[in-house]
């Protein structure tokens, strides 16, 4: 059994807005172990990014964690003060973002930005920081690292910038890496390179990785376990094989059937009807029921609870629960 | 043989002949032209009636510039474009209006192309007031019909763009494009900004409209999964050059160009059961202002030979309907064998 690195229990994140408090993350629990990749999948507004910002303590001013707890190596980190949180970021938990150009400082050289974490977290002098920085750039596969140290972000391509971002995130030897859509802005051939890099670094450094994406293809490539979110809630969680081969929640099934398959010419798209709910929308019962073709009276009134169907596969859906109690009667088996 | 006959029977709606688009790079005190970004390099292409042609490639490969050039949004540097046997590249503004009705475009970000202070119904009826002599009531009726056509409701007529979700806005963009019964539509990353569940709905809508109105699409996308689902033929571009063109089935089954093979192998598959052998391309796209000599792909090609560095490969028909520009077309990048 591998050590649990990050544990999130019943997390609720709220935003104060002009229309009152809005819940972006509603009672979400999950964990990440050492050396594994947890993928959080969902469409825009499902709360996946806010979950990661809550963990990092980087919520905007009007956002608060109003319930639940976040534990890193069995230590509660959600209630730390700003200074303690700052120390945690970078040395224990690091994050890489979608658009590396906005995350890098355009007026400072790569070298300056890369030396900073070494000098802050490890208290080394500039010369040593420079050597370690070059070493790190080599590790993330950047050619001519000595030259790159003197260059500015705009001189690098998108893929190179993302590699620099990864190097920056690794500088403090973090135990957990949070990657928020790190390849969405990149071309497929470059995306493949970056995914390979994250995978190999994870194995080499025995990191836990929390990978946030909306792309089912990327999930299949990097994930060990998958958590699917919809409307701020966790709706399904399981190993990557379970989720792709035996998805049980109607939304997960719909999501898989909405992605055209490159290898199957006979593939027919089955879109999910309707559109994504906004956070302010009041929906009774299951948040997915207005778009769900199997919705029953119960779904409209009460929200489903988390239900385990074995193999660490959890689903929040009344139908799955009902079916289990009736022993059989498939509700909707995804096309393989 | 049967297929070939069918190929000949199909009517050509659009023909590109040596289309080039260079953007000048000006610098220095006198803003002299120092160099050119070669966005599109001599493209020869035929588009048939009622088909969907996918155009794929990485960012900066010139696929969007090609689309804009066809519609006349970018003046050509060289080459000819004929639409239904009529050359359209040098037409004056007034003469062009005739073709504007026939050729339309759907953009990636529909919000950016809508006026935030104009009601959607008014924005759509403007199309009719410019191109037709309908009265106000007729226009409103036409717009309401259009809204129904793309899956929106009548009450949406009086709403403002910000009241719509991303998928609905794209539907408005589609409504605008089909308003005048065009025969050819360019979709420039039309579904890329949408969430997958909504993307699937919009793709379905585009397919339904194609069957109903016998539309031809030029579908520009970086998502090969979507292209496979949506298109009949696929054109692959790299650094402004066309590198391969084939029927969708054939291209995915037997890609001839090493770049196409690498591109296909790089797509993340949404399945955990098939583990294909991956070939990773090294390095980044070269700068289109200073493209490599010879074959544009030779700097990243896993099966590069000496001749590739000096001589640019010709755009040739390898098998019937399957065009490729490579000295060693058909060489597998996995095994290195033909």
For helices B120-131 and B93-102, angle between their N-to-C axes, nearest 10 degrees: 120
Q: How far apart are CA A11 and CA B177, in angstroms?
A: 45
Residue A329 has pLDDT above 60, yes or no: no
Q: Which band of pLDDT confidence, cut at 50, 70 and 90, is reported for residue B271?
A: confident
Domain borders along chain A are 4-92+174-326, 103-171
Mutate to test the interface with B, among A275, A288, A290, A336 (most CBs of B within 10 A): A275
**Whether A4 contacts chain B with CB within 8 A:** no
Nearest to B73 by CA among B93, B54, B58, B87: B93
Looking at every residue in chain B, the average pLDDT score rounds to 88
Q: Cite the beta strand spans of chain B per DSSP E.
A: 12-27, 32-48, 52-56, 78-83, 86-87, 103-106, 184-188, 216-220, 233-238, 241-247, 316-319, 322-324
Query: Distance (Å) from the C-alpha of residue B15 to the closest C-alpha of chain A?
Result: 28
Residue A134 has pLDDT above 90, yes or no: yes
Task: Enumerate residues 6+ apart whose C-beta is below 8 A from B289.
Answer: B25, B35, B36, B37, B38
Q: Is A26 helix (H, G, I), strand (E, B) or coil?
A: strand
Region A240-262: what's the mean pLDDT?
A: 90
Whether B45 is in a domain gets the answer: yes
Q: What is the pLDDT of residue B7?
A: 53
Q: Are A17 and A204 in contact (CB under 8 A)?
A: no
Whether B60 is in a domain gets the answer: yes
Whether B244 is in a domain gets the answer: no
Residue A6 has pLDDT above 70, yes or no: yes
Tokens of B85: 């046997």
pLDDT tens for A153-188 read: 998 888 889 999 999 999 888 999 999 999 888 888
Q: Do B209 and B288 lie in a common domain?
A: no
Q: Are strands A208-213 and A37-41 parallel, antiparallel or unpaired?
A: parallel
The backbone torsions φ and ψ at residue A136, rounded to the nearest 5 degrees and listed phi first, read: -65, -40
Q: What is the pLDDT of residue A317?
A: 92
Whether B262 is in a domain gets the answer: yes
Query: What's the structural domain count of chain B?
Result: 2
When CB atoms are compared, the residue of A187, A240, A260 closest to B228 is A260
Q: How many other CB atoms are there within 10 angstroms of residue A47's CB atom?
A: 24
DSSP B225-281: HHHHHH-SEEEEEETTEEEEEEEHHHHHHS--SHHHHHHHHHSPPS-SS--PPP-PP
Q: Do B42 and B161 lie in a common domain?
A: yes
Q: What is the pLDDT of residue A333?
A: 43
Instruction: State which fold the A4-92+174-326 domain adopts.
Output: Rossmann fold (3.40.50)
Q: Count CA atoms closer than 13 A to A40's CA, side-chain side.
A: 29
Q: How far apart are CA B82 and CA A301, in angstroms?
A: 60
Long-range contacts of A240-243 (CB under 8 A, 24+ apart): A240/A39, A240/B272, A241/B272, A242/A311, A242/A313, A243/A219, A243/A313
Query: Distance (Å) from the C-alpha of residue B62 to the closest C-alpha of chain A?
Result: 14
CB contact under 8 A, A188 and B58: yes
Q: How far apart are CA B338 and CA B316, in angstroms?
A: 17
Q: Do B154 and B22 lie in a common domain?
A: yes
- Type and span of the H or E element at A72: strand A63-72
Whether B245 is in a domain gets the answer: no
Q: How far apart are CA B126 and CA B142, in angstroms?
A: 11
Whether B240 is in a domain gets the answer: no
- Looking up residue B79, the CATH number of its domain turns out to be 3.40.50.300
Q: Do B116 and B152 lie in a common domain?
A: yes
Q: Do B213 and B263 lie in a common domain?
A: no
Q: Are A25 and A78 in contact (CB under 8 A)?
A: no
CA dist list (Å): B193 to A140, A185, A217, A237, B223: 29, 11, 17, 26, 11
Nearest to A223 by CA among A235, A236, A239: A239
CB contact under 8 A, A275 and B264: no
Burial (0-12, 13-18, 19+ Cβ within 10 Å), B133: exposed
CB contact under 8 A, B196 and A241: no
Looking at every residue in chain A, the average pLDDT score rounds to 88
Q: What is the pLDDT of residue B9?
A: 63
Q: Do B192 and B260 lie in a common domain?
A: no
Identify the weakest region by mean pLDDT among A295-309, B52-66, B145-159, B283-297: B283-297
Residue B309 has pLDDT above 70, yes or no: yes
pLDDT tens for A35-52 read: 999 999 998 888 999 999
By CA distance, what is A183's nearest residue in B?
B268
Region B192-220: what's the mean pLDDT?
A: 91
The backbone torsions φ and ψ at residue A236, rounded to the nearest 5 degrees and listed phi first, read: -155, 145
Q: Do B224 and B291 lie in a common domain?
A: no
CB contact under 8 A, B249 and A265: yes
Q: Do B161 and B289 lie in a common domain?
A: no
Q: Are B257 and B329 in contact (CB under 8 A)?
A: yes
Q: How far apart are CA B106 and CA B179, in angstroms?
A: 12
pLDDT tens for B16-31 read: 999 999 999 888 888 8
Q: Do B223 and B279 lie in a common domain?
A: no
Tokens of B2: 């049967």
DSSP state of A35: T
CB contact under 8 A, B284 and A190: yes
Q: Do B150 and B9 lie in a common domain?
A: yes
Q: Do B215 and B306 lie in a common domain?
A: no
pTM: 0.85
**Whether A1 contacts chain B with CB within 8 A:** no
Q: Which band of pLDDT confidence, cut at 50, 70 and 90, is reported for residue A54?
A: very high
Q: Do B68 and B182 lie in a common domain?
A: yes
Whether B281 is in a domain gets the answer: yes
Whether B62 is in a domain gets the answer: yes
Task: Determine the structural domain holding residue B335 and report its residue range.
Answer: 255-338
CB contact under 8 A, A269 and B203: yes
DSSP state of B15: E
Q: Which of residues 28-87 of B touch A (CB under 8 A)?
A: 58-59
By CA distance, what is B226's nearest residue in A?
A260
CB contact under 8 A, B198 and A271: yes
């Amino acid at each position: 059994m591998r050590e649990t690195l990050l544990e999130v229990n019943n997390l609720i994140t709220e935003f104060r807005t002009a229309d009152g408090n809005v819940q972006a993350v509603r009672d979400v629990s999950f964990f990440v172990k050492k050396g594994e990749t947890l993928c959080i999948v969902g469409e825009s507004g499902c709360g996946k990014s806010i979950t990661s910002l809550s963990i990092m303590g980087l919520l905007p001013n009007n956002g608060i964690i109003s319930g639940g707890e976040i534990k890193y190596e069995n230590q509660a980190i959600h209630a730390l003060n700003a200074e303690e949180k700052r120390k945690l970021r970078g040395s224990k938990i690091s994050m890489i973002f979608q658009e590396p150009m906005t995350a890098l400082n355009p007026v400072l050289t790569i070298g300056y930005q890369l030396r900073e974490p070494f000098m802050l977290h490890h208290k080394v002098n500039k010369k040593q920081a420079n050597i370690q920085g070059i070493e790190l750039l080599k590790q993330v596969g950047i050619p001519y690292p000595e030259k790159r140290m003197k260059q500015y972000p705009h001189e690098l391509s998108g893929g190179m910038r993302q590699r620099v971002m990864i190097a920056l995130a690794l500088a403090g030897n973090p135990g957990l890496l949070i990657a928020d859509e790190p390849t969405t802005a990149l071309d497929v051939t470059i995306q493949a390179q970056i995914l390979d890099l994250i995978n190999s670094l994870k194995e080499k450094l025995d990191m836990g990785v929390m990978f946030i994406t909306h792309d089912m293809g990327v999930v299949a490539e990097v994930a060990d376990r998958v958590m699917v979110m919809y409307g701020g809630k966790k709706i399904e969680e399981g190993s990557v094989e379970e989720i792709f081969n035996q998805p049980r929640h109607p939304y997960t099934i719909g999501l898989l059937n909405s992605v055209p398959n490159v290898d199957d010419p006979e593939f027919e798209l089955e879109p999910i009807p309707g559109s994504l709910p906004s956070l302010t929308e009041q929906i009774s019962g299951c948040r997915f029921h207005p778009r769900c073709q199997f919705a029953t009276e119960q779904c409209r009134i009460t929200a489903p609870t988390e239900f385990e169907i074995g193999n660490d596969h959890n689903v929040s859906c009344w139908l799955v629960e009902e079916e289990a109690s009736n022993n059989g009667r498939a509700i909707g088996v995804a096309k393989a | 043989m049967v297929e070939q006959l069918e190929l000949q029977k199909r009517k050509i709606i659009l023909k590109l002949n040596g289309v080039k688009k260079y953007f000048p790079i000006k610098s220095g005190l006198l803003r002299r032209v120092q160099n050119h970004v070669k966005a599109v390099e001599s493209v020869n292409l035929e588009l048939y009636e009622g088909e969907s042609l996918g155009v794929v490639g990485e960012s900066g490969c010139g696929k969007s510039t090609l689309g804009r050039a066809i519609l006349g949004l970018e003046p050509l540097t060289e080459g000819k474009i004929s639409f239904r046997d009529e050359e359209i590249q040098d037409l004056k503004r007034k003469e062009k209006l005739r073709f504007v009705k026939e050729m339309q475009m759907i953009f990636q970000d529909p919000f950016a192309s809508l006026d935030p202070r104009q009601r959607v119904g008014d924005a759509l009826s403007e199309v009719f007031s410019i191109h037709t002599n309908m009265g106000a009531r007729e226009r409103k009726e036409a717009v309401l019909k259009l809204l129904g056509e793309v899956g929106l409701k009548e009450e949406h007529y009086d709403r403002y763009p910000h009241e719509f979700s991303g998928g609905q806005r794209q539907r408005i963009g589609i409504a605008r494009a089909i308003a005048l019964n065009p025969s050819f539509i360019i979709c420039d990353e039309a579904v890329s900004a949408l969430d997958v569940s909504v993307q699937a709905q919009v793709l379905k809508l585009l397919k339904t409209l194609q069957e109903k109105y016998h539309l031809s699409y030029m579908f520009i996308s970086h998502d090969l999964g979507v292209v496979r689902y949506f298109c009949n033929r696929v054109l692959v571009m790299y650094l402004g050059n066309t590198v391969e063109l084939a029927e969708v089935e054939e291209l995915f089954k037997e890609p001839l160009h090493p770049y196409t093979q690498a591109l296909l192998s790089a797509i993340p598959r949404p399945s955990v059961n098939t583990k294909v052998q991956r070939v990773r391309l090294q390095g980044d796209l070269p700068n289109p202002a200073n493209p490599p000599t010879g074959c544009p792909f030779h700097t990243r090609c896993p099966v590069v030979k000496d001749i590739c560095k000096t001589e640019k490969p010709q755009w040739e028909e390898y098998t019937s309907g399957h065009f490729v520009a490579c000295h060693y077309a058909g060489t597998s990048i996995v095994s290195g064998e033909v």
